[in-house]
Structure 1
Amino acid sequence: MISNLRDVTFRQLRALASVAAGGSVTAAANKLHLTQPAVTLQIRNLQQLCGLPLLQRTSDGMILTPAGQELYALYERIEAAIDSCATSLDMIVGRTGGRISIGAVSTAKYFVPSAIAAFSKLHPGTDISLTIVNRQEIRQALRGYALDFAIMGHPPPDIELDIHLVGDHPHVVIAPAGHRLANASELAAVDLAQETFMSREPGSGTRFLMEQFFENSYLEPQIGMEMGSNETIKQAVIAGLGIAFISAHTVAVELKEGRLITLDVAGLPIVRQWFVVRRKDKVLLPPAQEMLDFLVANGKQFLPQTPTGAAWTDPRPAPVK
């Protein structure tokens, strides 16, 4: 054991984290409002305490070594602990009902705000921060400690998580009203081989599920455009630029209004699930725990309804990995 590690200071860890984030001592100095020699000294002292190299210079800038990554994880835990302590103190003196930091994949924005609004009515003094990004970015955020929990459909298997089911999440193929296949029934995946797909970007959960569906059918979809927004995909399909594999929760309104239709394709809808997940070693303060419990108990009622008013079901739901 490196006994000198107890002499590490938070200022040294913050300097290391800033260099890692900015890729250079110069960027770290600007962020911390210090001189470059001051930042270099902090890193040098930290490295001496650990007895291991913490940074590696590359053509793309400074990156963390394995030892540096361990210290960076320590920095994140301390930052999260400080934030939690600040929230606790604010709650003690009555300045706030608590702070909650939630992450959600972009598709979840069609129901998570409604759930937050309902919770806020029950806990009006609670300050809730919602970050909406794609699955890859949520996965990275879960590696740290800033998020209390996240709402997503495909929990990463390489992070130890507590996973709680919210409800079913159907995925369909949509087309514009009047599409040539609108009245066709029992289509096979091969019938879509000549169609142009509007698709989410690589790294999104929807893109992953679409590729899985076509891979199982031994087909490769013809991608016309990659888009980072479900809203843009919907508008592109309505305009007649192609069709799309998409979460039914993102198009519930357009389907009800008749601006979009779903194609009757064998194997669809594919129904996955929504989950609330948090790191096993993330300690939640009472407000965050109450919000998590609220979502587990009531989250299903905020899921968008299909045009018929009933959720699609899958006789073989995907297992949690």
Structure 2
Amino acid sequence: MRNLTLRQLRSIQAISRHGTIAAAARKLGLTAPAVTLQVKQIEEDAGLALFDRTSDGMRLTVAGRAVLAAANSIETSLRALSDEIDSIKGVRSGTINLGVVSTAKYFAPRLIAAFLGLYPEIEVRLTVGNRHEVVAELKNYKLDIALMGRPPLDFPVDSTFFGDHPLVIIADPAHPLTRQHGIRRDRLLEETIIIREHGSGTRAALEGFFAGKTDRLFARSVEMGSNETIKQAVMADLGIAFISAHTIAFEVEMGRLAVLDVAEMPIQRKWYAVCRQDRIAAPAEKAFKAFLVERGANHLPVLQRLHPAEAVGAG
């Protein structure tokens, strides 16, 4: 496979992304026969088919996925090289493909704005998704850096800690539990608890908190797929919820939500900047990670009032 060309690899990327040879050819500015020839040459070299030709379009085989992974890795390395050359020339520029889990979208714009204030010539392209989506994008070389609470374990990554991440139980300010202190877990299980979808970091932390009692938890829980939906449901008094404190600072300060005084909470998790180990970090990425370590925690939302009695003005 040493005779592979960038044109061949980019043909594989384009077909995978757009589903058909015709669509890939249009994107690449080539003819369909030219793209077909690029694929045929790689398949002959590999001795394996890279795509299954189906009625729904071209689908990567196992060999095709391996070639695509190599193509993505080479593409990111070439972009890092370009940024490195610019840096050597004295150009403080570059592009960062940044992915954040949905909980981090509440502070990511603030982080980006502060970073761009220091490096105005760097472009940051932001992608927001649930944990599964962000991990998949990082694994497929579509992201340079991902901000999340639980680094993936199924492929090699480097994780850089940049801030604490408290998780709390919230309720409508008029809920009876807002006047109680040191609330125990069994008392919480008497309430309807609104929880995030399976696979989210918040959901995993909640299951850990109720270890040994998850049957009771799930018997009365309601699953919702976004922090905004959960907040609206709690404000409508449909239940209490376990949520990141970084998503509710505004609503607590406005008196629309209350943080319950639960024994052994807040649960403290951490925020990480995660990169693939096999990528060469460009100067822009190194600058962003250094910024996160030095100043990232200063741009995380802070709950000024954690105790519910203070938050709702109760005596």
TM-score by length of 2: 0.84
**How far is 1:60 from its partner?**
6.7
Is structure 2 residue 225 aligned with structure 1 residue 243? Answer: no
**How far is 1:11 from its partner?**
2.4
Is structure 2 residue 97 aligned with structure 1 residue 101? Answer: yes
Is structure 2 residue 35 aligned with structure 1 residue 66? Answer: no
Is structure 2 residue 37 aligned with structure 1 residue 41? Answer: yes
Is structure 2 residue 270 aligned with structure 1 residue 273? Answer: yes
Cα distance 1:36–1:190, how it changes in 2: closer, same or farther (>3 A)?
Answer: farther
- Which of 271, 293, 297 is the aligned partner of 1:296? 293
**How far is 1:283 from its partner?**
1.4
Cα distance 1:37–1:122, how it changes in 2: closer, same or farther (>3 A)?
Answer: closer
- Which of 71, 76, 89 is the aligned partner of 1:75? 71
Give the match's secondary structure for 1:220. helix
- Which of 198, 202, 205 is the aligned partner of 1:206? 202
- Inter-partner Cα distance in structure 1 for 2:20 and 2:35: 10
Partner of 2:224: 226
- Inter-partner Cα distance in structure 1 for 2:21 and 2:89: 39
Give the match's secondary structure for 1:306. coil
Is structure 2 residue 171 aligned with structure 1 residue 167? Answer: no
- Inter-partner Cα distance in structure 2 for 1:216 and 1:18: 48
**How far is 1:153 from its partner?**
0.5
- Which of 112, 119, 133 is the aligned partner of 1:116? 112
Amino acid of the structure 2 residue aligned with 1:210? L
Cα distance 1:287–1:52, how it changes in 2: closer, same or farther (>3 A)?
Answer: same
Amino acid of the structure 2 residue aligned with 1:73? A
- Inter-partner Cα distance in structure 2 for 1:73 and 1:42: 17
Partner of 2:144: 148
- Inter-partner Cα distance in structure 1 for 2:241 and 2:72: 39
Partner of 1:130: 126
- Which of 14, 19, 23 is the aligned partner of 1:18? 14
Using the TM superposition, name which of 266-275 and 27-36 deviates more: 27-36
**How far is 1:172 from its partner?**
1.0
- Inter-partner Cα distance in structure 1 for 2:280 and 2:35: 31
For structure 1, the 5+ residue unaligned runs are 311-321
Give the match's secondary structure for 1:259. coil
**How far is 1:188 from its partner?**
2.9
Is structure 2 residue 196 aligned with structure 1 residue 195? Answer: no
Partner of 1:262: 259
> Is the 1:276–1:296 contact (alpha carbons within 8 Å) kept by the matching residues of 2?
no
Amino acid of the structure 1 residue aligned with 2:262? V
For structure 2, the 5+ residue unaligned runs are 308-315
Partner of 1:7: 3
Superposed, 1:171-190 pairs within 5 Å as 171-190=167-186
Cα distance 1:189–1:80, how it changes in 2: closer, same or farther (>3 A)?
Answer: same
- Inter-partner Cα distance in structure 1 for 2:196 and 2:21: 36
Using the TM superposition, name which of 69-78 and 208-217 deviates more: 208-217
Give the match's secondary structure for 1:103. strand
Give me the CA root mean square deviation: 2.8
Cα distance 1:30–1:97, how it changes in 2: closer, same or farther (>3 A)?
Answer: closer
Partner of 1:50: 46
Partner of 1:313: none
Amino acid of the structure 1 residue aligned with 2:75? E
Deviations 1:179-220 (A, max 9, x none): 122223333333233433333333322223223333443333
Deviations 1:147-189 (A, max 9, x none): 3322111000122122221121111111101112222333333
> Is the 1:171–1:268 contact (alpha carbons within 8 Å) kept by the matching residues of 2?
yes
Partner of 2:312: none
Cα distance 1:209–1:22, how it changes in 2: closer, same or farther (>3 A)?
Answer: farther
**How far is 1:137 from its partner?**
1.6
Amino acid of the structure 2 residue aligned with 1:255? V
Is structure 2 residue 284 aligned with structure 1 residue 287? Answer: yes
> Is the 1:198–1:227 contact (alpha carbons within 8 Å) kept by the matching residues of 2?
no
Deviations 1:78-115 (A, max 9, x none): 22133334445666777763322222112112223222
TM-score by length of 1: 0.83
